[in-house]
Structure 1
């Protein structure tokens, strides 16, 4: 059976060669990046803020040293981590996954998330994705955050509540909003599913990109009000913010 799958894969690749998830160049296997796109990604690594996961330009002198933004306004989650920086190199990768039906990358993304969020998964009880509005879900046909959460769940063997959170209303795109405007835009936009049980549990909230943290912060508050013991955040990409 293994040989049949092997030659079936070879035949399919000959007819429809696998393409780089980021640029569309031909690659060796499905769900992979070409060497150029891989080398262009800036993976998030220490030293970084232990709370928001923003990488520091220089070592602040201690693993517990928070960035100025978190010191001034601590987010509701406990820890946030990301796989790579969201920039010109990684943007096509996420946009193809999010809007262009390039879903074959989900298994690889799950592995990347598991590595980036290893410390968050140690005592995690439940993985919950950021939800989409029902009309956007109908138009897109899938929730990219839910696909990431499910891939991470398969990789980590942690339970996933794919519909644990509900989006109550459609919010305007936030691309040009300030931090304060983003927070107002998502306030009251989320609610727990009636059957969601997070009481006393450590929850890992998953999304594709962390920007200002407004959406992830509002979802974290909902989970904490529902009784979660702790909420951590894990994303594929994160926008690098200027120092506060």
Structure 2
């Protein structure tokens, strides 16, 4: 007896047709929506970073999928979000020339609640096809308030600066580093991480995430 096909679309959660194939992760309607509605085409900057990029807009069904990825134990979504992000890195490989891929850390409490760091899952999948090393370089300080709870840019920036710290014994001297996160909002967390990576000796730091909030919206 064959197995029952119950794979669902990453974005709308509808069951995919059995003939969609093992690699399919989107239904046809959502695949079209990604092409027509969710592509991030605007360039943006992160303070202190040499460059930054994201392939998708954090809105609508994409934003809902990120939330399920982070909070509903949909670790396998990392495969789809990484697949969207890989071409972005591929296009920049000759200019970024990365030596290492790292990621934004999460706090100990969130780790025990979730059992994984979504940014780490993404970083691993982004690094592997290019045979790049992937390593943790930063800590999240305990009892740091959530960034999502800080509603204005100034509050986010202040909170981000005290949220992260350097892991001991890591030397990034002369290295080109790609920093991975799941969402770029105001960029405060990424900017704080970039500053620390520079202090660890990184010559170049690039920020890469699968999603970015649309211009004018930073909630």
Tell me the TM-score normalized by structure 1.
0.78
List alignment gaps of at least 5 residues for structure 2.
Answer: none
- The 1:23/1:218 distance shift into structure 2, 3 A limit, reads same
Question: Segments of 4+ in structure 1 off by > 4 A?
Answer: none
TM superposition shift of 1:24: 1.3
Q: Aligned residue for 2:10?
A: 21
Q: Aligned residue for 1:211?
A: 185
Deviates more, 1:25-34 or 1:204-213: 25-34
Per the alignment, in what secondary structure is the counterpart of residue 177 of structure 2?
A: strand
Listed one character per residue, the Cα deviations across residues 167-208 of structure 1 (whole Å, up to 9, x for unaligned) are 123322233520010001111321222132211101000010
User: What is the alpha-carbon distance in structure 2 between the residues aligned to residue 233 and residue 116 of structure 1?
Assistant: 11
List alignment gaps of at least 5 residues for structure 1.
Answer: 1-9, 53-73
Q: Aligned residue for 2:49?
A: 77
Listed one character per residue, the Cα deviations across residues 98-155 of structure 1 (whole Å, up to 9, x for unaligned) are 1111122323322221102224433000000100011111111100000000011112
Q: Aligned residue for 1:133?
A: 107
User: What is the alpha-carbon distance in structure 2 between the residues aligned to residue 120 and residue 218 of structure 1?
Assistant: 23
Tell me how many residue pairs correspond in the alignment.
207
TM superposition shift of 1:223: 0.2
TM superposition shift of 1:36: 1.9
TM superposition shift of 1:31: 5.9
User: What is the alpha-carbon distance in structure 2 between the residues aligned to residue 197 and residue 111 of structure 1?
Assistant: 30
Listed one character per residue, the Cα deviations across residues 60-92 of structure 1 (whole Å, up to 9, x for unaligned) are xxxxxxxxxxxxxx7111111001011113111
Aligned residue runs from structure 1 range 93-112, under 5 A:
93-112=65-84
TM superposition shift of 1:209: 0.3
Structure 1 residue 37 corresponds to structure 2 residue 37? no
Larger radius of gyration: 1
User: What is the alpha-carbon distance in structure 2 between the residues aligned to residue 210 and residue 174 of structure 1?
Assistant: 12
User: What is the alpha-carbon distance in structure 1 between the residues aligned to residue 73 and residue 172 of structure 2?
Assistant: 31
Deviates more, 1:215-224 or 1:113-122: 113-122
TM superposition shift of 1:156: 2.0
Q: Aligned residue for 1:66?
A: none
RMSD (CA atoms): 2.0
Q: Aligned residue for 2:147?
A: 174
Q: Say if 2:78 and 2:121, in contact at 8 Å, map to a contact too.
A: yes
- The 1:228/1:154 distance shift into structure 2, 3 A limit, reads same
Equivalent of 1:165, from 94, 116, 138? 138
Of structures 1 and 2, the one scoring higher in RCO (CA 8 A, sep 6+) is 2
Structure 1 residue 232 corresponds to structure 2 residue 185? no
TM superposition shift of 1:237: 0.4
